[in-house]
A and B are shown apart, each in its own frame.
Chain A
Amino acid sequence: MTADRRQFIFGAISLVGGNALLASCKSEPNIKPTNIANSGPLFYSAADFVLVTRLCDLILPRTETPGALDAGVPAILDSLMDQWANSETQSNHRRDLADIKTGLDANSGGNFIDAEYSVAEAGLNVFDTAAFSDEHAHFAYQGLKQLIEVAYAASEAGSETYHRNPVPGYWDPAVPIDTL
């Protein structure tokens, strides 16, 4: 990752209040875009990248296990949109982000990005509940959240969080969840 790109990503994280996360970062952040860019996001505008970063941080925060930001999910999504998505998916994704942002701003006192973490969290909670009130209530948001989770689960850190052993070795069809 180039210095510029790293700086940008650090910037995005601090902008949405991921300071605790940054403080604990070693000199090399644990962000693994699937493709190296020259500078800044490959696909997202600066504002979109900040939005995605905030969503990642709120949806899959760092707990005892790494969060979506530790796993570099915003950069992975950026790379996916740049390298995997076709122009239709790209423009739908941009449109969806704008739409989601409008809803989130309204739920977070006018500005989802600048809001305190707890305010943004509460705003997203309300938005999320409504988005799942029925199967199609906010399909685009559901899809974005799924993509964030898929990207996290596919990262090395996420695989460990979810005990997704690349070589499980055997199949057990009935594991009590209280043993996890």
Chain B
Amino acid sequence: MSNFDAIVIGSGMSGGYAAKELTERGLKVLVLERGKNVVPAEDYNDTVPIWERPNLGRIPQDELEEHYAVQNKAAGWAMNWASKQFFVKDSEHPYEEADDSKFQWVRGYHSGGRSVLWSRVALRLGPQDFEENKKDGHGVDWPVRYKDIAPWYDKVEKFVGIAGQNEGLPQLPDGVFQPPFALTDTEKHLRESVKANFPGRTVIHTRTANLTQPTEEQMSLGRAPCQARNQCHEGCSFKAYFSSVNATLPAAQRTGNLTLINNAIVHSIEYNAAKKRVSAVHVIDKITKNTSRYTAKLIFLNASTVGSAMILLQSKSESFPSGLANRSDQVGRNLMDHVTGAGITGRLNKFAHLTSYGRRPCGIYIPRYGNITEDGKPYIRGFGYQGWSSPVNTLNKRRPGIGREFKESYKHPAPWEINLYAFGEVLPNPDNRVELHPTKKDKWGLPVAQFHTTMGENERIIIEEARKDAIAMLEEAGFTDIKAPKGHITAMGNRVHEMGTARMGRDRNTSVLNGWCQAHDVPNLFITDGSFMASSACQNPSLTYMAFTARAANYAADKLQAGAL
């Protein structure tokens, strides 16, 4: 099948955005998605009340162990009877960890990819994040600065719908926000105390991709305000949180320019040496295993960081014997994620007379301050914290008592508990990489991924220091009962923010993409999932993937329409 203007490989967070932008520019776009389609009215189970769910919504333990061992280890907190369908079965999608490597690869293979599953924390990178590689020599210099991407953040935030508050912080720039979910009094108390005692640190509302005041455009896509159910990992029948399924794919669909093919596993991209362009995509049907070939003038690769690297590495040709667009040998390398460790909790009595109503789909955030507003740190780069608070007599928390007293304890005064956990930057390191396993194949005959990944010393120090700082902030604010277990840091992949396997850079010898997410070696190939990231910063990355995708798609459409691709 042929004659599309563009093929987008993958329909997740970034692929959905590419499809929207390209179709809205009038291009005929084919989206190839390896998983099943997701139709909200048919597939979301979010409206089934918990008492009607088998096992109260819990996934049987044997099933978890047999089929979801990795998914559960990293993202078990988001898994239940209703969201299970959005995680891959590890038993069907094996991969390998080389030597002592640890990598937890959390995936969702279906329309929307992991945009259906994400926790919606949507933060911009700041100016420092684009400059530090150059300053401290880790990784290559980003060929883009904050000012280049700022207008695209604006554009994406407006479409996506982010609840948040402008704070005027240079390191976490303001954006286009809908009203935030209010802080609890405990969180406000921490905010005030931190402001007074730790100048340069700020406790803010989580910036979250849940609608609080939908725009006309959002409502025209059938999206309604958030109902405070906090069941977002199950899909949302109100379409109140952003996902490709709830927003970008319907937006692309309504242009009349979108063709979506599901169960289409892309195994390679064909390169036409004479034209010096990619010309076709080869696909295996997930169910029948039949193969097909699709052609287009332009290809956007959005199969997620690891998925895209695998496709490039599988696309060998005379021109690219070690994989498409891989003359720099950087494809698959510099695989990053974020690092976290054990969380920190503390209790405060001051607001014992209060409880809350509704289930907020977010909490608080403390933006990075290390090596920005505070110097002399024993680590480079830095970390931010996510957190939330609730009364300790909240149901489901272990507490003493029986009978009426216990049953009604939710009405009794009780301290509030706050939780904080750090998200630290992981440095780019060419030895952290994914490659094709030399012998092992999946059930479609494709090589499985083999990871070589370890967290480094800087990451370990970051988590140690984050723990100390959190204790200090809670103590200063008068929290008691502070618990801060030591020693544990997460494996690579655990934060599900993997990125970096086809980094952008100024030099084609040391990077895969230029500043437009365009392959140095292949002008009509764009890669706009997390692969392009030249460093990880410490902010949750998906908003950045979408902003770069929108920018690249419009650049590519301009070039195509000008006959320059």
Contacts and interface: CB of A to CB of B under 8 A. Distances in A.
A, B assembled together: yes
Interface of A: 32, 34-35, 58-61, 63, 65, 67, 76, 79-80, 83-86, 89, 121, 124-125, 128-129, 131-132, 142-143, 145-146, 149-151, 153-156, 159, 161-178, 180
B61 A86 contact: yes
A177 B56 contact: no
A60 B411 contact: no
Given A166-B229, A168-B228, A170-B358, A61 B58 contact: no
Given A76-B56, A177-B353, A171 B403 contact: no
Interface in B342-390: 351, 353-360
Contacts of B351: 174
Most A Cβ at <10 Å: residue of B51, B355, B358 = B51
Contacts of A162: 395, 410
A34 B185 contact: no
A130 to B, nearest CB: 10
Interface string B225-259: 00111000000000000000000000000000000
Contacts of B402: 58-59, 121, 124-125, 128
B404 A61 contact: yes
B412 interface: yes
Given A154-B50, A174-B184, A83 B229 contact: no
Interface string B149-193: 000000000000000000000000000000001111101000000
B65 to A, nearest CB: 7
Q: Which of B183, B184, B355, B408 has the most CB of A within 10 A?
A: B355
A155 B61 CA distance: 21
A156 B49 CA distance: 8
A162 B355 CA distance: 12
A152 to B, nearest CB: 9
A168 B358 contact: yes
B413 interface: yes
A32 B51 contact: yes
B228 A171 contact: yes
A74 to B, nearest CB: 14
- Most B C-beta atoms less than 10 A away, residue of A59, A129, A165, A166: A166
A173 B184 contact: yes
Contacts of B398: 132, 142-143, 145-146
Contacts of B59: 84
Interface in B295-354: 351, 353-354
Contacts of B60: 83-86
B54 A175 contact: no
B438 interface: no
A153 B360 contact: no
B396 A150 contact: yes
Contacts of A79: 55
A42 B58 CA distance: 18
A44 to B, nearest CB: 16
A54 B408 CA distance: 19
B444 interface: no
Nearest to B398: A142
3 tightest A-B CB contacts, nearest first: A132-B400, A168-B358, A86-B61
Contacts of B182: 171-173
8 contacts: A59-B406, A79-B55, A83-B54, A83-B55, A121-B402, A156-B49, A170-B358, A177-B412
Of the candidates A172, A175, A178, the one having the most CB atoms from chain B within 10 angstroms of its own CB is A172
B399 interface: yes
A54 to B, nearest CB: 11
Contacts of A76: 56
B216 interface: no
A136 to B, nearest CB: 11
A163 to B, nearest CB: 8
Given A76-B56, A86-B62, A171-B357, A180 B396 contact: no
Contacts of A129: 400
B61 A146 contact: no
Contacts of A32: 51
A175 B228 contact: no
B357 A172 contact: yes
B147 interface: no
A60 B406 contact: yes
Contact of B356 (A63, A128, A167, A173): A173
Contacts of B412: 177
B275 interface: no
A173 B395 contact: no
B137 interface: no
Nearest to B411: A180
B177 to A, nearest CB: 16
From B397, B399, B403, name the one whose CB has the most chain A CB atoms within 10 angstroms.
B403
Contact of A169 (B57, B358, B411): B358
Nearest to A163: B357
A65 B316 CA distance: 68
B401 interface: yes
B407 A61 contact: yes
Nearest to B183: A173
Interface in B44-91: 49-51, 54-62, 65
A59 B399 contact: no
Contacts of B404: 61, 63
B401 A168 contact: no
Nearest to A161: B407
A177 B229 contact: no
Nearest to A65: B407
B358 A172 contact: yes
B395 A174 contact: no
Contacts of A85: 60-61
B206 to A, nearest CB: 12
Given A59-B403, A129-B400, A150-B56, 12 more contacts: A35-B54, A58-B403, A59-B402, A132-B399, A143-B398, A146-B397, A154-B56, A159-B49, A162-B395, A163-B357, A164-B395, A177-B413
